Amino acid sequence: MTEIKKSAWGRMRSGGNTRTLLLLSFGGGLAAALGVAALVAAAGPEERFLATLLAFGFSFWLPFSALLWVLLVDRGTMRDAPRNVEDSVEYRWSERASAGVFRDMLVLLGAGAAVLSVLEVAIDLTLRWPLHLVLAGLVVLAMVDFGIRMQLSKGAEG
Amino acid sequence: MRNSLAERRKDRGLSQQALADELGISRQSIISLEKGRYDPSLPLAFKLAALFGCPIEDLFTPDPD
């Protein structure tokens, strides 16, 4: 049986080498990003089409590339990737951190909703925050929370 | 849980990385296991016992209450 050469970025599930994997991930990511950016730009003012296309295209490029890489890579061909992830201590930390973030979000969103509804009635407060920024803020908060919890677990059990 | 993992590993001349590769887990897991800060799953404990050729209870000892 021939030993499959491992690399830091891995190889494709379909058998392609690392270079093909990276070309497809970044190339496909760019194409998908430009496609979405074109849709967004077309929906906006015509004079800002190019600026919107470039801004959204650049912003979406790496996330789409990362998504494609995750879908295409065979993690068994990645150097340093443990075979039995679920037996590794990092997996336990991650599970614990995820559960903690879920609890934090429940408390934050529940308490926030309760407080805001009381304030709205009590002092006629109406908040007009852009929803997309609120959601993005929550995502960032959840990610920071996850990172802190992972570090705490590592400090305690590492 | 206390364990004799570090001694047994050294007796066999294995590095932490080599043992981790053998078990398909991260080196950090071996470090945490040896320090007694990570209690392995039952399947992992069986794998360790099989690897060192001893019963699980020889490898792991519960902490006194």
Contact between B61 and B1 under an 8 Å Cβ cutoff? The reply is: yes
Residue with tokens 């053998």: B22
pLDDT at A3: 62
Residue B19 in contact with partner chain A when CB distance is under 8 A: no
Q: Which domains does chain B have, with CATH numbers?
A: 1-52 (1.10.260.40)
Residues 23-52 of chain B with CB under 8 A from chain A are: 23-26, 28-29, 31-33, 37-38, 40-41, 43-44, 47
> pLDDT digits over A39-54, tens only?
999 998 989 999 999 9
Closest CB to A89: pick one of B24, B38, B47: B38
Which ipTM was obtained for this model? Answer: 0.87
The model's pTM: 0.77
- Per the CB < 8 A criterion, the answer to whether B27 and B17 are in contact is yes
Residue type, A64: F
Q: Please tell me which residue, A68 or A122, carries the higher pLDDT value.
A: A68
What are the tens digits of pLDDT across the range A69-102?
A: 999 999 888 887 888 889 999 999 999 999 999 9
Q: How far is residue A93 CA from its own chain's centroid?
A: 18
Residues of A in contact with B17 (CB under 8 A): none
Burial class (CB in 10 A: 0-12, 13-18, 19+), B48: buried
**Tens digits of residue pLDDT in A99-143:** 999 999 999 999 999 998 888 878 877 778 888 899 999 999 999
For B17, which residue in chain A has the nearest alpha carbon? A80
